[in-house]
Amino acid sequence: MSAIEPGLLVAPRSMLAPAFTALPALGQGWTSAGRPQLDIREPASVQAAVSANTRIVINCAAYTDVDGAEADEAEATRVNGHGAGNLAARCAETGAVLVHFSTDYVFDGSGTRPYPTDHPLAPLGAYGRSKAAGEAAIRASGCEHLIIRTSWLYAPWGKNFVRTMVELGRKHESLRVVNDQRGRPSSCSYLAERTLALLDHGARGTFHVTDGGECTWFEFATEIMVQTGSKCRVEPCTTDEFPRPAPRPAYSVLDLSATESLLGPSSAWQDNLRRTTISPSAE
């Protein structure tokens, strides 16, 4: 992969951003910016941060509290919708390519086959609506863009399902995890690698990037325990047994065919999990 520069990485303290900074392909011309210096909710802040010679902007900023968005949809939309639109408008002015990350939550979860990139959006909750608004704003801006939908993100750092399961597995003899929500896990490191590979291939438009394969949260948790050698027993349960403020899509498997036609088969989620150095969440 050739070096990609110069560019701006937005929100360096997000869960995804460290996976990008670890990749040498980013080259020497990259800078990082996040709050308070760069607040994507404010057009003037975006204008100042994205210089005229910036060729690529990778936006890792997001409002990710799915349940919190139900109580404060306006703020979720300011970040995920208007914020993405502000970046897109500036990229349209400068000619920069905007890389933006969206989510499986833009679909309603009623499907039975992997969702293709052009499937109609029908988000169930506030978080999904805010992300769908961001996608729409980017497309309406006319900027060159690469929108990447992903799902079930995890990393060795930050607050995520894998680290939480490792921590709970060390404290409890058994856990109950939902077995009626199906999707694709996504390693942040793998997502970053595939994103740069798509850029290297000149990809534009909307693509899906996740680990290969699919599973339920119960199956994911069970594999985490196996790989970490935990004695904790994982038992299946239903979504209805653990009600949450925000509705979750029952089936949110993303179709990877467009990405795989350019980059080859996706690495299996079990293998990507195995390559991840897992530690308990400190959250």
**C-alpha closest to that of 98 among 89, 106, 107:** 89
Residue 168 C-beta-side C-alpha neighbours within 13 Å: 16
What DSSP line would sit under 251-265, residue for residue?
A: B-PBP-HHHHHHH-S
CB 177 within 8 A of CB 234: yes
Q: Is the dihedral of CA 179, 188, 141, 143 positive or negative?
A: negative
Q: Is the dihedral of CA 170, 171, 173, 174 positive or negative?
A: negative
CB 81 within 8 A of CB 134: yes
Query: Which of the residues are catalytic?
Result: 127
What's the distance, Cα to Cα, between the start and end of the chain in Å? 35
Residue with tokens 């994103």: 195
CA pair distance 50, 30, nearest whole angstrom? 12
Provide the angle, in degrees to the nearest 10, between the axes of the packed helices 217-228 and 161-171.
60
**C-alpha closest to that of 54 among 39, 37, 32:** 32
List, in order, residues 6 or more apart from 151 with CB less than 8 Å away. Answer: 103, 104, 183, 184, 185, 186, 210, 252, 254
